[in-house]
Structure 1
Amino acid sequence: MTAALDEAAPVGPALCAYIARSQTTAIPKSFLSLGRLHILDTLASIVACRDLAPARLARDFAIAQSGDAWQNAATILGTSATASLSDAAFASAMAAHGAEINDFIPSAFVQPGPAVVSVALALAEQRGLSGQAVLRAVITGYELAGRMPKALGIGNLRRAGIANHGIGPVFGAGAAAASILGLAEDRIPDALAYCVQQAGGSWQWLLDVEHVEKSFVFAGMGARAGLNAALMAEAGFTGVRDSLDHPEGWMRSAIFTGGDADRAGLIEGLGERTELIHTAYKRYPVGGPTQPAVKGLLDLLPDLDAKAVDGVRIEMPGRWQAFRDAAMPALNLRYLTAIMLIDRRLDFVSAQSLERMSGDAAVHALMAKVDVVHDPAQETPPGQPRTESARVIVRLKDGAIREVYVPHVTGFPSHPMDPGEVEAKALELMTPRLGAERAQAVVSAVADIETLPQAVVLAQLIAT
């Protein structure tokens, strides 16, 4: 097909058919395996982030709004508290992205797990649905979360100042909800119309300091909006049925026309290829693009003494300034380098600590010795899949140089974690709060999720 034909071809009918049949159609075993692993990774993130500010604020807000709800209630994941369906999904998603530890799709600039998994589990609990229904809904949600930003155009979204991170989860959560609710094919266009009307988000999240607005844009907003879109369609709300194809509809608006838009990619190979293979795991509790530099410094640490370090230079591709000057600790490479040199390791708590970043004199002294610069040679050629890399150069006071180049980090789509590594990460995150036996029970339950008659078991296992 030519580019002109691709641009003119409708995408809505095929997309609605895919979502409508997602609970019954055959799914490749490899997709099911990946779906289970990403559910586990998301649950582990919720457990680890339960007491961080985004989770606490969202939980308190949800309980204040509807904590006494007795009808249509669901568990706020990571706790035993309940709230109305929408408020519970919102709070659960905020917790899942309470820190930089959940999964992400680097090619789409979205983090699907928090919104998609939270919505699927909330609906499964409220409707008494099975683990198999959740798994299928999650796989469906990941498809939309990853495909929609790329269909609109990553560059188009950036030029318009619209955050992919807000767009993808709305459609991902909406598709997951429509799937698990079993919406009829002729009602799914209405759900998509209400996703359209709520899709948004600004790149100003980069200016956020406390990770609260970021958690809202990346997770809470999408969970609530996508869930409500599907529930409204179920309740009979009608909308523009061809909002993805009409010449004057949302997807054909000027900002999403031309540039790097890929409308055909929204439906290409649905059910045959999956966005799950493009979804990365964060091996370390820091932002995705900072992972290679963190790994490089950790590799060098055995031969380094912080007192002997004269300077550190980190060379990386992409938006290097954001990770040199980020106000958020887990995104600031100068801060992360300093605490790793001092602590000789990287732990989850310190990586998120605003207090330490703002008030630790020793950390500030070392941060002054760290620079982050752009390396054009590490940029991915146009048209090639996005990768992450870094070169870390440590200069010692005696003039010696320690240097390492990290072309990738395990967990990135080009070098994915294997199931054992994902389970090990989950146990590492969950064991401090749940204990070893219960953490292992979560891992086992997710591994056998298709056998769970009631998916609410997962919420109960991680409740504290």
Structure 2
Amino acid sequence: MLFLRCVLVAFATRALAFSSPNHGLSESEAAGGGEYFSKFSTLVPRAPVTNLTSTLSKIIADSATVPVPDAWRILARSHILDTLASIVACRDLEPSTLARELALSLSGGRGRSAATILGTHEQASIVDAAFASAMAGHGAEINDFVPSAFVQPGPSVVSVALALAETRGLSGDAVLRAVIVGYEFTSRIPKALGINNLQNANIANHGIGPTFGAAAAAASLLRLSEEQISYMLGYCAQQASGTWQWLLDVEHIEKSFVFAGMGAKAGLSAALMAEAGFRGVENSFDSEKGFITSKKFTGGDENLESLLDFGNKTELSETGYKRYPVGGPTQPAVHGLLSLLPNITVTEVSKVVVEMPGAADSFRSANMPALNLKYLVAIILIDQRLDFVSAQSRERMLGDQEVQALMLKVEVVEDPSQEPPPGEARTESARVKVEETGGRRHEVYVPYVKGYPSHPMSKEEVDLKALELMEPHLGDKRARAVIATTNAIDRLPRIGELVKLISR
């Protein structure tokens, strides 16, 4: 068991030297849109930026029928699989169980529009089911993420796509197309508004992006008209919300809501409202008093061009995988310590120093276990590995005296020299230094961890991660069947087959 138990040092060390292909694709194949968005290039205004609402509405409307390049299909399949594996693994964690209980209390049963709460055999109304499934998808720190946009698309977009496709009897190909356009909008909307603009306004990218992404995916599946989509975007704008106070959450419940459940519920609701005939502001992305023209998003790092290059790149290649069940910025330190383990005498450890770029204080004292580097270092040293359950255990972080004693020996400090130059993609890195009482010292610098967009996992590595996550819950045979079915999702006549495979 290589990915989550993380005991084999050779694997951890070798990962630093991998060539890091985009699932075996060339860089141009992974980024380029081929024919997929080529027809939109003539629609996109270059200067000034106008008619955004109608342009984006047409892109979403046409996403259900335009050709999709094979390179994008490969990437989308793997992200769907990664999300399903996360849902299976997090099914019984509290963010998931609370959301499921709420959904069942509101609309449980097998009504006309009921959808399966993913990972279970239970059903609720389509909106409530998608909400509960998304909460499960981000029940812990193991699903995919876009570091350049500060969003995590999979839980909301995939949950909405599967809920709609199941209730409407739609195909795997329709789901794949919906997921692709959903990922595009989840990532591009925060970039258009400005990452710093959002942060300065205390508005969470993590909630804004998935609302629009889930809605785009739903609209693609519902075959909404351009006019309906323009109204839908207005209802997304009215619901788009979330603050950075999720950083104060200690149990990953509110975080799961902001990152996943909220966007799934709001985005799907907006699409269903448009389908039902709800009308409103047609040009919310262009109107002087519309959403995107707010003074909060004007100037600064506002980047409307990110909404204008659909024909040049895909956000799928900007989406990473979490190799370990911990927050993205903590992954390099975890990886580095695991690689040092065979050389360390744990009982002799007197000090551990983790140097990292960015806001080190956030990961020095985080209340959430999977984000607290002092806790993660302690359990890795004690257990000689990192497992999924311990990485999420607040009880152990607060109640294990051996863990707390080791945490006192860990320092987490900011290292500005590890910051990437302006304009370069963020990869996250760490330097781990371990001192022993006898004078022995161990040190490793981890420039990146496989999984970041700059050094992506291969398809085979994503498959293996999914197997690691699902096998304890579904058994080896069924877990492999989920992987095989997802990797051929385009050929599924009805998505319900895949939904049943992950149910228990």
User: In the TM superposition, what is the alpha-carbon distance from 1:71 to its structure 2 partner?
Assistant: 1.7
User: In the TM superposition, what is the alpha-carbon distance from 1:16 to its structure 2 partner?
Assistant: 1.0
Matched ranges for 1:299-378 at <5 A: 299-378=339-418
Q: Which amino acid counterpart does residue 139 of structure 1 have in structure 2?
A: I
Number of the residue aligned with 1:132: 173
- In 1, Cα distance between equivalents of 2:308 and 2:97: 38
- In 1, Cα distance between equivalents of 2:490 and 2:59: 20
> 1:142–1:294: structure 2 CA closer, same or farther, 3 Å change rule?
same
Number of the residue aligned with 1:428: 468
User: In the TM superposition, what is the alpha-carbon distance from 1:141 to its structure 2 partner?
Assistant: 0.1
- Once the two structures are superposed, residues 214-259 of structure 1 have per-residue CA deviations (whole angstroms, 9 ceiling, x without a partner) of 0000000000000000000000001211111112211011000000
Q: Is the 8 A contact 1:324 1:371 kept in 2?
A: yes
- In 2, Cα distance between equivalents of 1:305 and 1:445: 45
Q: Which amino acid counterpart does residue 338 of structure 1 have in structure 2?
A: A
Matched ranges for 1:104-123 at <5 A: 104-123=145-164
Structure 1 position 164 matched with structure 2 position 241:
no
Structure 1 position 412 matched with structure 2 position 482:
no
Of the candidates 266, 271, 280, which is equivalent to residue 307 of structure 2? 266
User: In the TM superposition, what is the alpha-carbon distance from 1:187 to its structure 2 partner?
Assistant: 1.0
- In 2, Cα distance between equivalents of 1:271 and 1:436: 40
User: In the TM superposition, what is the alpha-carbon distance from 1:69 to its structure 2 partner?
Assistant: 4.7
- Once the two structures are superposed, residues 68-112 of structure 1 have per-residue CA deviations (whole angstroms, 9 ceiling, x without a partner) of 351210000000000000000000000000000000000000000
- In 1, Cα distance between equivalents of 2:336 and 2:497: 40
Q: Is the 8 A contact 2:352 2:433 kept in 1?
A: yes
User: In the TM superposition, what is the alpha-carbon distance from 1:267 to its structure 2 partner?
Assistant: 2.5
Q: Which amino acid counterpart does residue 107 of structure 2 have in structure 1?
A: S
Q: Is the 8 A contact 1:9 1:264 kept in 2?
A: no
Q: Secondary structure at the match of 1:250?
A: coil
CA RMSD of aligned residues (A): 1.1
Matched ranges for 1:34-433 at <5 A: 34-268=75-309, 270-433=310-473
- In 1, Cα distance between equivalents of 2:55 and 2:206: 24
Q: Secondary structure at the match of 1:404?
A: strand
Q: Which amino acid counterpart does residue 33 of structure 1 have in structure 2?
A: I
User: In the TM superposition, what is the alpha-carbon distance from 1:294 to its structure 2 partner?
Assistant: 0.5
- In 1, Cα distance between equivalents of 2:97 and 2:143: 17
Bigger RCO of structures 1 and 2 (CA < 8 A, at least 6 apart) = 2
- In 2, Cα distance between equivalents of 1:426 and 1:354: 24
- In 1, Cα distance between equivalents of 2:91 and 2:125: 19
- In 1, Cα distance between equivalents of 2:210 and 2:311: 19
Q: Which amino acid counterpart does residue 104 of structure 1 have in structure 2?
A: F
- In 2, Cα distance between equivalents of 1:272 and 1:89: 31
Q: Which amino acid counterpart does residue 182 of structure 2 have in structure 1?
A: G
Q: Is the 8 A contact 1:67 1:84 kept in 2?
A: yes
User: In the TM superposition, what is the alpha-carbon distance from 1:13 to its structure 2 partner?
Assistant: 1.9
Q: Is the 8 A contact 2:114 2:124 kept in 1?
A: yes
User: In the TM superposition, what is the alpha-carbon distance from 1:332 to its structure 2 partner?
Assistant: 0.4
Q: Is the 8 A contact 1:27 1:271 kept in 2?
A: no
- In 2, Cα distance between equivalents of 1:189 and 1:280: 30
User: In the TM superposition, what is the alpha-carbon distance from 1:7 to its structure 2 partner?
Assistant: 5.6
Q: Is the 8 A contact 2:428 2:447 kept in 1?
A: yes
How many residue pairs were aligned?
460
Q: Which amino acid counterpart does residue 406 of structure 1 have in structure 2?
A: V
User: In the TM superposition, what is the alpha-carbon distance from 1:305 to its structure 2 partner?
Assistant: 2.1
Q: Which amino acid counterpart does residue 384 of structure 1 have in structure 2?
A: E
Q: Which amino acid counterpart does residue 42 of structure 1 have in structure 2?
A: T
Unaligned 5+ runs, structure 2 = 1-44
Number of the residue aligned with 1:439: 479
- In 2, Cα distance between equivalents of 1:174 and 1:12: 14
Unaligned 5+ runs, structure 1 = none
Q: Secondary structure at the match of 1:186?
A: helix
Q: Is the 8 A contact 1:42 1:114 kept in 2?
A: yes
The alignment-based identity, stated in percent, is 63
Q: Which amino acid counterpart does residue 385 of structure 2 have in structure 1?
A: R
